[in-house]
Chains A and B, each alone.
Chain A
Amino acid sequence: MDFGFLDQLWVARIPLLKGLGASISISLLSIVVGTVLGVFVGLALTYGYRPLKWLVRGYTDFIRGTPVLVLVLASYYVLSTVGIDLGPFQAGVLALAVFCSSHVGELVRGALQSIPKGQTEAAKAIGLTFPQTFAYVLGPQALRQALPAWVNTAAEMVKASTLLSIIGVGELLLRTQEVISRTFMSLEFYFFAGFLYFVINYGIGRFGRYVERKTAVPS
């Protein structure tokens, strides 16, 4: 019996699709949660009172200085020793979200700090309160500023989702490896998986550029 690659692909379609779905959910969840957390991190880094700022600064430096794989392993193995029992999927997403939040936090801080002081002063001068200034003047400018780097971070999260295969989450890479161990078609299936990751990240990149164009300020 000699099955070609396409036949094997057809046979393996269900686990691979499930793997792809898992990869996408892991990435989406960690990007969304990480971004929401990251915005708060960025706000604390920019506007927080000193003790809070130091605390959050310590958090981001620590997380950014740690390999993502270590975060994933720690989240899965170490948290259970202190009584927080997470499944591999939850532990993995948590690790990635935390990682994402420290990066997004830095992006947000950088974007906010790059806005000239005069913007805040002009907003104050017409009587805006700080929340209003943030919502209508600083936020929208920071968003545009941070968008390209944020798209990069999102793509990084998709790539980092492969690390969850180590703790046994059935995402695309692990499913691919399982298929390969049955079919020994390593070149074909790795290439296929790589292609899928490329498509996802290419899509994210295109989406980012689309949003950039849509929100571009005429000049």
Chain B
Amino acid sequence: MTNLLEIRDLHKRYGTVEVLKGVDCSMRQGEVISIIGSSGSGKTTMLRCINMLEEFQGGTISIDGQEIGYQTVGGVRRRKPEREIARQRALTGMAFQQFNLFPHMSAAGNVMLGLVKVKKMSREEARAVAEKWLDRVGLLSRIDHYPGQLSGGQQQRVAIARAIAMNPKLMLFDEVTSALDPELVNEVLQVIKALADDGMSMLIVTHEMRFAYEVSSRVIFMNQGRIGEEGNPREMFLKPKTERLAEFLKTSTFN
């Protein structure tokens, strides 16, 4: 059986600065992997390569056996056509640090846009799906509210509903609680935890160590553009094998 996600020798440069220096990672269906590491270690960049928000110069990323973003024809590596990339992006769902809700659309409108325009659902069908997912994130009562009328935590939950409603094979969470007031963090983590319990495959870039410890089936520690260490959360947090990870954990709050 092919892995859900297969990353091989991923290299990414900004100009002359190499931010990913050969990352290998594979992930099975239903796994929940947290990616931790200090800022600048490449964790967010790696996540963004998976749905081609970032270009990458070397290596391959495959989801369900499909190569993402690039194809090699006759030894020449080329970016796939934009239409194909757009289609591949829908294989994954992404939630962002800054939520990035569309401010001119209601909560329902945000969730429905992709369903109607990408999945080609009728508005009625899309509305029903939006209702279902907004209910799941506890915001059915806010379905016709606009982002400006919602708290940060509520906006992030709508953003998660928007991503998950597209029925992605893999959810990507990019520091989704970093922009939230501390008292709003929990409501978002609860939503993610519930999705994990439902068997959703997820890659979570986070600074919430306690959360990573509790929710993950595996943890990846990124260090200077490479995977520094990986393993199950218990081993990683309690018995770090590398000096780097031990140091990193010492400087992070585990609460």
Question: What is A's interface to B at a CB cutoff of 8 Å?
Answer: 116, 118-119, 121-130, 132, 136-137, 140-141, 144, 217-219
Contact = CB atoms under 8 A, between A and B. Distances in A.
B162 interface: yes
Given A125-B92, A127-B166, 7 more contacts: A122-B102, A126-B89, A126-B93, A126-B163, A127-B90, A136-B102, A217-B148
A127 B118 contact: yes
B148 A124 contact: no
A127 B94 contact: no
A128 B86 contact: yes
Contacts of A144: 104
Residue from A121, A140, A144 having most chain B Cβ neighbours under 10 A:
A121
B29 interface: no
B237 interface: no
9 contacts: A121-B96, A122-B162, A124-B89, A126-B89, A127-B87, A130-B82, A132-B118, A140-B104, A219-B149
Nearest to A122: B100
Interface of chain A: mostly helix, strand, loop or mixed: helix
Contacts of A129: 82-83, 86
B53 interface: yes
Residue from B87, B94, B114 having most chain A Cβ neighbours under 10 A:
B114
Interface in B48-99: 51-53, 82-83, 86-87, 89-90, 92-94, 96, 98-99
Contacts of A128: 86, 113-114, 117-118
A147 B156 CA distance: 29
B142 to A, nearest CB: 12
Given A122-B102, A132-B117, A141-B104, A218 B94 contact: no
B103 interface: yes
A64 B24 CA distance: 54
Contact of B98 (A118, A126, A132, A140): A118
B117 A122 contact: no
Given A129-B86, A136-B117, A217 B104 contact: yes
B114 A119 contact: no
Interface in B148-189: 148-149, 159, 162-163, 166
A217 B146 contact: yes
B35 interface: no
A20 B108 CA distance: 48
Residue from B93, B100, B162 having most chain A Cβ neighbours under 10 A:
B100
Contact of B114 (A116, A127, A141): A127
B102 A137 contact: yes
Contacts of A125: 51, 53, 89, 92-94, 96, 163
B118 A116 contact: no
